[in-house]
Chains A and B, each alone.
Chain A
């Protein structure tokens, strides 16, 4: 009896292991079209044209990855993605998507249509980087030539990730942008991408600059240096260089100097005075003197003090200038000044939130800068040129 039971059990287990071990809807790797990056343009026949960069995995001893472009049109992003089946015969697989590039033309009308699907669908990931193309179309970016990696979208992701050491473009993920759209007292921004000429006339995708939004609508793009100032005012500087030129001993010869930023902290404190609000922006940056292109001694005690003072004024002036420019030209609070008030001074915010956009344009911002030079790298003196 016991044996019969055992045998029966064994048979049941055996049959089950054949019959029930399978996936309901399994998909093999070679049947997937893995999306690395996506670009959205205005469509010719339908509302949107979606161009995706697909990773082709060639089987073999070494896995070789190749990039391939493919586009499809549709009335929504998901529609485009599904219509791509008729082009490739394979379903797009979105989990490895790294970047979403949107053309200027449609970003100006609002990007909510593009980013909703990335936040909502369970296959797409919400930590896709958001970027705006400064070229005519977003698709153009993918038509550039890659430099190091074979996949352009992965390359651009690396660029964005390494912005920490450059600070010339903000790094915004789709979910973060969605948060900024909803939060009070801040407008989102995204990185700008463009094509850059290389030797030999070929163009390659490059990241740099900030796309400025109002709500979900693109209203302008500012350059790389101004981006750094914006990042200073947002307290988002993680590294990068601070480059300036100062006058040396010879009146006609300027000395270029680069500081490498190691730590930067920006304190943003609103000051309330009756019905007026003022913003105090205190930037404290720890740098090393990484390059000193001249003979003047800026390292000794006296020279150092002079250099610090000079650099502080230069930094202060450029940040102030950029803030003023944003206030006057765009009038959108990309710095999140309003958000600071909302978070730390909730009661006052209730009074001013309704016309914050107007207030922001005329907001008085006091920038204070403090630069701490912690070392001058390996050299303790400037290089010398023998006189005679």
Chain B
């Protein structure tokens, strides 16, 4: 089988779209009121050391995915055991994004359409994308990202007339704990979710690439997210905290001379694309992991099954949207901590030790 390769530029594009994914629509920061953007900045800064660790792991084992790495480090049985944990994380994350998409369309546009129909639709597209392979996803992202960014920037400028600068003031009016809480939550969702890319970036060409890709990707995405958060605060004011989909409502306020209005469909478009890419990446990593754990030749043989399972899982993962938003901001950060922080640190330390041994062995030999 031919080895799949993506360029740095494509990788950055995937990472940006992945990171803005569902955050674009759900917003960040939780309870930090009009200091949500500060939470976002702190969250981004918190993510830096972990990005370094992810990139370092990828550099040590260039050309190998996280599941290979685990099997090398922990042996055939132990490695597979931890690999299953990561497969679960990617699978669960994908299901959550599918559900976000379903809830969004269900609440905002089509309240009477069964959510399952919506989720199957996006699930089917994701399955197709993954079947076509990571190269296709990469090229799609490189093509779509400029469009998305241009849309976001145009909407940002159109929104200026609705913005009220005093909504940002006073700074630090929420308590330090709620700001840090928001920072922690925005660290876990979305910045550190890039840990999933340990299962994707084995396709990068050079040894230096992981650092470049992780930093450019997460930082540019972070900038976009923070800009959007500030826009939402400026337009919505205190009401913003009680909305499920702040971006959608903020953009729906924009009305320029009775002529240019009701452009919230732009948010839906950006979110649709970003959700699709995020789901595809999660599905790709899940399929890759299952293939590695079960010793399959090609991950493509399990994509359809896993994709459908993901959709079914999304169907019963939450009871309702209240649980979803509770989970996303309150529980998820703690749930994701082992996958995003604890395990990667262990893997990294072991990798550094093993690396020396491997080089030592080589020298003896």
Query: Which range holds the interface residue count of chain B?
Result: 20 to 34
Query: Would you call B170 an interface residue if the criterion is a C-beta within 8 Å of the partner chain's C-beta atoms?
Result: yes
Contact B237 A342 (CB under 8 A): no
Report A-chain residues with C-beta under 8 Å of the C-beta of B253: 126-127, 175
Contact with B along A328-367 (1 / 0, CB 8 A): 0000000000010011101000000000000000000000
Report B-chain residues with C-beta under 8 Å of the C-beta of A119: 239
Q: Which of A24, A127, A342 contacts B112 (CB 8 A)?
A: A24
- Once A24-B112, A25-B113, A125-B252 are accepted as A-B contacts, the answer to whether A342 and B238 lie under 8 Å apart by CB is no
Query: Would you call B52 an interface residue if the criterion is a C-beta within 8 Å of the partner chain's C-beta atoms?
Result: no
B107, B113, B237 interface centre (most CB from chain A within 10 Å)? B237
Query: Would you call A212 an interface residue if the criterion is a C-beta within 8 Å of the partner chain's C-beta atoms?
Result: no
Query: Would you call B110 an interface residue if the criterion is a C-beta within 8 Å of the partner chain's C-beta atoms?
Result: yes
Complex-state Cα separation, A119 to B238, whole angstroms: 13
Contact B113 A179 (CB under 8 A): no
Query: Would you call B173 an interface residue if the criterion is a C-beta within 8 Å of the partner chain's C-beta atoms?
Result: yes
Contact with A along B84-120 (1 / 0, CB 8 A): 0000000000000000000000011111110001000
Report B-chain residues with C-beta under 8 Å of the C-beta of A183: 237-238
Q: Which of A122, A175, A179, A343 contacts B170 (CB 8 A)?
A: A343
Query: Would you call B359 an interface residue if the criterion is a C-beta within 8 Å of the partner chain's C-beta atoms?
Result: no
Contact with B along A126-143 (1 / 0, CB 8 A): 110000000000000000
Contact A179 B169 (CB under 8 A): no
Report A-chain residues with C-beta under 8 Å of the C-beta of B237: 179, 183
CB distance from B262 to the nearest CB of A (A): 9
Query: Would you call B166 an interface residue if the criterion is a C-beta within 8 Å of the partner chain's C-beta atoms?
Result: yes
Contact A24 B169 (CB under 8 A): no
Contact B113 A126 (CB under 8 A): no
Query: Would you call B255 an interface residue if the criterion is a C-beta within 8 Å of the partner chain's C-beta atoms?
Result: yes
Report A-chain residues with C-beta under 8 Å of the C-beta of B111: 122
CB distance from B284 to the nearest CB of A (A): 27
Complex-state Cα separation, A193 to B229, whole angstroms: 37
Complex-state Cα separation, A339 to B167, whole angstroms: 11
Q: Which of A127, A178, A343 contacts B169 (CB 8 A)?
A: A343
Contact with B along A145-185 (1 / 0, CB 8 A): 00000000000000000000000000000010011001100
Complex-state Cα separation, A356 to B263, whole angstroms: 41
Contact with A along B145-174 (1 / 0, CB 8 A): 000000000000000000000100110110
Report B-chain residues with C-beta under 8 Å of the C-beta of A24: 110, 112-113, 117
